């Protein structure tokens, strides 16, 4: 089964906390299992068997879309003077 997830945070430089797209699942994974260029905020395509991640790759398209959505929200907030 494949799911999307985001690297929510990296704890102590060792453990990546990955949250599923719908927020219903959380995975703790050694950073050594992440793709080389992965970092916090990156979206991933996860191959899951049972309750375990058995494959993982960066979803660059989803990451770019989500980053642009955040940038757009900040632009709107700046226009309303809610952010200085």
Is residue 69 within 8 A of residue 46, CB to CB? The reply is no
pTM of this structure? 0.85
Mind listing the pLDDT tens digit for each residue in 16-58?
999 999 999 999 999 999 999 999 999 999 999 988 899 999 9
- pLDDT at position 76 is 87
Say if domain 2-79 classifies as CATH 3.30.390: no
Q: What is the DSSP letter of 34?
A: S
Q: Structure tokens of 6? A: 């985001």
CA pair distance 26, 34, nearest whole angstrom: 15
Question: 78 falls in which pLDDT band (50, 70, 90)?
Answer: confident
pLDDT of residue 83: 62
What is the pLDDT at residue 84?
A: 58
Residue 38: what pLDDT? 96
């Amino acid at each position: 089964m494949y799911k999307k997830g985001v690297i929510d945070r990296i704890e102590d430089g060792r453990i990546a906390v990955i949250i599923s797209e719908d927020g219903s699942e959380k995975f703790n994974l050694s950073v050594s299992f992440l793709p080389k260029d992965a970092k916090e905020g990156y979206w991933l395509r996860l191959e899951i068997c049972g309750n375990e991640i058995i494959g993982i790759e960066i979803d660059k398209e989803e990451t770019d879309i989500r980053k642009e959505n955040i940038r757009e929200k900040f632009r709107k907030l700046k226009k309303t003077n809610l952010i200085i």
